[in-house]
């Protein structure tokens, strides 16, 4: 067990209820349809305070290693953390309910009107906005880790390896992980 000094103040506060988890992840899904991680960070860290910035980054790291979409993994982890199985089911349900309904509706509209040039232009604009949201999320996460500048070096190396040089992501992760872990261990002392 840990001593009281190392326990996060958020971990001693009462957690959200099952309906809170459902409604929060429903709001995340409605806000970030097509790119929910920036909105998840805003809700979970900035608005609700259920996680601090470092906890969010750590949880996202774990969720990226798990199979499946990161935000879905995050909904399960957050729900289970605060309300067990029912919390995980509620957070996941809130996350997928609206996108499923919206996705089916948009698909029907696209199949009917997708060849119209104006519709195609709208979809390109939405894609550009989604890219901007992910860049903003990356910057927020990087600035939250100012105390650990080595993390930015490993992020840049991973981007260069997978993004610029085209190496397979699992290879890049396996190659950088031992050095990243050693650097994090050294900086934590």
Residue 1 inside a domain? The answer is no
**Percent of residues, the chain, with pLDDT higher than 90:** 32
3-state class (DSSP) for residue 88: helix
Q: Give me the mean pLDDT over the 30-52 stretch.
A: 86
Please report the pLDDT score of residue 4 as a whole number.
Answer: 41
Same domain, 180 and 111: no
The DSSP 8-state label assigned to residue 66 in this structure reads: S
What string of DSSP letters covers 88-130? HHHHHHHHHHHHHHHHHHHHHHHHHHTTSHHHHHHHHHHHHHH
pLDDT at 74: 94
Which residue range forms the structural domain that includes residue 95?
Answer: 8-146
Torsion over CA: 60, 62, 64, 68 (sign): negative
Residues 6 or more apart whose CB falls under 8 angstroms from that of 92 comprise: 25, 72, 75, 76, 79
Which pLDDT score is estimated for 50? Answer: 93
Is the same domain home to 88 and 173? no
* pLDDT value at 28 more than 50: yes
The pLDDT confidence band at residue 41, using thresholds 50, 70 and 90, is very high
pLDDT digits 0-9 by tens, 137-152: 777 776 766 666 777 7
- pLDDT classification of 65: cutoffs 50, 70, 90: confident
- Which residues lie closer than 8 Å to 93 by C-beta, 6 or more apart? 22, 25
For the chain, where are the alpha helices, taking DSSP H only?
Answer: 9-12, 18-31, 37-41, 53-65, 70-113, 117-144, 150-158, 169-187
> For residue 134, is it within any domain?
yes
Torsion of CA 65, 127, 119, 71, to 10 degrees: 30
Co-location of 112 and 137 in the same domain: yes
Q: Which of 171, 142, 137, 140 is nearest to 155 (CA)?
A: 142
pLDDT at 10: 43
pLDDT confidence of 2, banded at 50, 70, 90? very low
Range scoring the smallest mean pLDDT among 17-31, 57-71, 134-148, 159-173: 134-148
* 62 and 111 part of one domain: yes
Position 117 scores a pLDDT of: 83
The confidence score (pLDDT) of residue 153 equals 82
The whole-angstrom separation of Cα 69 and Cα 71 is 6
The whole-number pLDDT of residue 91 equals 96
Q: Is 3 inside a domain boundary?
A: no
Q: Do 45 and 100 share a structural domain?
A: yes
Residue 129 has pLDDT above 60, yes or no: yes
Q: Number of structural domains, the chain? A: 2
Domain co-membership, 142 together with 158: no
Of 172, 144, 140, 135, whose CA–CA distance to 157 is shortest?
A: 172
Does position 154 have pLDDT exceeding 90, yes or no? no
The reply to whether 134 and 161 lie within a common domain is: no
Note whether 25 and 63 are same-domain residues. yes
- Are 27 and 77 in the same domain? yes
Same domain, 88 and 105: yes
> pTM to 2 decimals?
0.58
Q: What is the largest CA-CA distance in the chain?
A: 63
């Amino acid at each position: 067990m840990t001593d009281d000094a190392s326990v996060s103040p958020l971990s001693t506060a009462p957690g959200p209820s099952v309906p809170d988890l459902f409604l929060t992840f429903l709001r995340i899904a409605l806000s970030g349809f097509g790119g929910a991680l920036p909105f998840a960070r805003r809700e979970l860290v900035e608005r609700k305070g259920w996680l601090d910035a470092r906890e969010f980054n750590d949880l996202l790291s774990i969720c990226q290693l798990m199979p499946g979409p990161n935000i879905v993994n995050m909904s399960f982890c957050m729900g289970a953390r605060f309300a067990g199985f029912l919390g995980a089911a509620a957070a996941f349900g809130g996350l997928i309910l609206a996108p499923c309904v919206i996705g089916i509706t948009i698909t029907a509209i696209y199949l009917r009107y997708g060849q119209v040039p104006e519709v195609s232009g709208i979809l390109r604009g939405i894609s550009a906005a989604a890219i901007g949201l992910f860049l903003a999320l990356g910057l927020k996460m990087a600035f939250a880790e100012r105390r650990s500048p080595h993390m930015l070096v490993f992020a840049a190396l991973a981007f260069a390896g997978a993004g610029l040089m085209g190496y397979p992501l699992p290879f890049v992760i396996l190659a950088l992980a031992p050095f990243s872990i050693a650097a994090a261990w050294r900086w934590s002392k």
